[in-house]
Every structure is written in structure tokens, then in C-alpha cells.
């Protein structure tokens, strides 16, 4: 829901930083891989209950996620790079609830399982729509520079990162935060399924 506004706000500084990285010889795929490694480090920090370190690493990882696309657009975007980006993104998003479950299994495991199931709903509806949109040659007018058809919703990347940061700042409230966000994810999944059904009929 907020991704469009966050992208508009961050585009100028991200593009400027990407230009510096291109001049320094960094490629989009290397930035994607670096962001994933940092994201996994965030999960490890959270599992070890180093909450603030986890939050900082999450922000750094998502900065890399913004920069890899900007670098690709200033050089040569490829399907391989787009595939790598989206696949590693979903692994990152799944790792954070798992890390909280490892940190406090008794208090967090059930809520983490519910949240991961909700993530499965948003991810599957997102990717299924993108696959059939590509088959029909559809393109997003809102996100024309994305590697695949980007179908929005109530819970997008911006909201998910805000959730993860809130969980790191207030880890004792992981369960209610996870369950509340799972409800919002269910709305996103439902609306995507409805929209996909209507679009492809």
C-alpha cells in the first residue's frame, strides 16, 4: 500500500547512490547477494536476541534491495538478475519470523507459523498473478520498471519492513504484531485472488 509513496520519496537519493556504485564497478547481482547475506545476518542476530543489531541489519539489507534495482536500470537489467532478486527477497522475508521463533520458541512459535502461512498467501498470489500476466503480455502501468508484474496490496514491502522493525524494537509484542499483520496479509491475499480471478476470466 505504501510502496509507491516510499519509492517516490527514496528514488532521488537511491538513484544518486546507484550512479556512484556503477562508477565504482559494482554490479546489480553482487548488490543483491550482499543484501541477502546481510538479511541472513539480521535473522541470526534476532535469533540471538540482539534486537537492535537485527533492526540495523534489516535496514541495511533493504537498502541493498533498493540499490540493486537502481544499478540494474542504469546498466543492463536481466531476467536472471530479476529472478535472483525476487527469490532471495522471499527467503529473507521468511527468515525473520523464523528467527523470532528461534529466539523465544514458547512465546513466538505459533504466531511465527501463522505469519509464515500468511506470507505464503501473499507470495503465492503475487507470483501466480505475475506468471499469468506475463503469459498474456500484460504490463504494470504503476511499476513499469519491475522485472515482473507487480501486484500491490494492503501489505507490501514497506509495511513488512515496518513490522520487522517494530518487532525488533518491541520483541515482547512479537505475537500480537505477527497475528495482526497476518490478518492484514489475509486481506491482501483475498483481494489479489479476487482480482486475479476477475482479470483472467
Q: What is the CATH number of the domain that holds 34?
A: 1.20.120.1760
Q: What is the predicted pLDDT for the residue at 180?
A: 97
Write the burial class of residue 31 (CB in 10 Å: 0-12 exposed, 13-18 middle, 19+ buried): buried
Q: CA–CA separation, 105 vs 99, rounded Å?
A: 10
Give the residue from 182, 163, 174, 185 showing the smallest Cα distance to 108.
174
Number of domains in the chain: 1
Question: In Å, how far from its chain's centre is CA 23?
Answer: 27
Q: Which three cell numbers stand for residue 60?
A: 541495511
Q: What is the predicted pLDDT for the residue at 141?
A: 44
Residue range(s) defining the domain that contains residue 23: 3-200
User: Cα–Cα–Cα angle for 1, 191, 165, nearest 5°?
Assistant: 35
Q: What is the predicted pLDDT for the residue at 200?
A: 83
- With a threshold of 0.75, does the pTM exceed it? yes
Distances (CA, A) of 180 to 33, 34, 38, 105, 164: 31, 31, 27, 19, 13
Give the residue from 179, 177, 158 showing the smallest Cα distance to 169.
177
Q: What is the predicted pLDDT for the residue at 139?
A: 63
Mark out the alpha helices in 24-146 (DSSP H runs): 28-47, 51-74, 79-103, 105-135
**pLDDT tens string for the chain (201 positions)?**
665 666 777 778 888 888 999 999 899 999 999 999 999 999 999 999 999 999 999 999 999 999 998 998 888 888 899 899 999 999 999 999 999 999 999 999 999 999 999 999 999 988 888 888 878 776 654 545 555 556 667 788 899 999 999 999 999 999 999 999 999 999 999 998 998 888 888
Distant-in-sequence, close-in-space partners of 37: CB < 8 Å, separation ≥ 6: none
Q: CA–CA separation, 73 vs 68, rounded Å?
A: 9
Question: Reduced to 3 DSSP states, what percent helix, strand and coil does the chain have, rounded to the nearest 5?
Answer: 80, 0, 20
Write the burial class of residue 59 (CB in 10 Å: 0-12 exposed, 13-18 middle, 19+ buried): middle
Q: What is the predicted pLDDT for the residue at 120?
A: 96
Distant-in-sequence, close-in-space partners of 194: CB < 8 Å, separation ≥ 6: none
Q: What is the predicted pLDDT for the residue at 150?
A: 62
Amino acid at each position: 500500500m505504501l510502496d509507491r509513496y516510499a519509492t517516490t520519496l527514496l528514488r532521488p537519493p537511491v538513484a544518486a547512490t546507484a550512479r556512484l556504485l556503477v562508477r565504482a564497478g559494482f554490479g546489480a547481482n553482487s548488490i543483491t547477494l550482499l543484501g541477502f547475506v546481510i538479511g541472513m545476518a539480521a535473522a541470526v542476530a534476532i535469533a540471538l536476541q540482539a534486537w537492535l543489531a537485527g533492526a540495523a541489519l534489516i535496514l541495511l539489507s533493504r537498502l541493498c534491495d533498493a540499490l540493486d534495482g537502481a544499478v540494474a536500470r542504469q546498466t543492463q537489467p536481466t531476467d536472471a538478475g530479476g529472478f535472483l532478486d525476487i527469490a532471495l527477497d522471499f527467503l529473507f522475508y521468511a527468515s525473520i519470523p523464523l528467527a523470532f521463533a528461534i529466539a523465544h520458541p514458547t512465546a513466538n512459535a505459533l504466531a511465527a507459523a501463522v505469519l509464515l502461512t500468511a506470507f505464503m498467501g501473499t507470495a503465492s498470489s503475487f507470483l501466480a498473478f505475475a506468471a499469468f500476466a506475463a503469459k498474456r503480455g500484460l504490463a504494470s502501468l504503476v511499476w513499469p520498471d519491475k522485472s515482473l508484474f507487480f501486484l500491490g496490496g494492503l501489505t507490501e514491502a514497506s509495511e513488512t519492513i515496518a513490522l520487522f522493525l517494530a518487532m525488533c524494537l518491541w520483541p515482547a509484542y512479537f505475537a500480537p504484531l505477527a497475528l495482526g499483520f497476518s490478518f492484514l496479509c489475509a486481506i491482501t491475499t483475498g483481494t489479489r485472488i479476487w482480482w486475479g480471478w476477475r482479470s483472467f476470466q
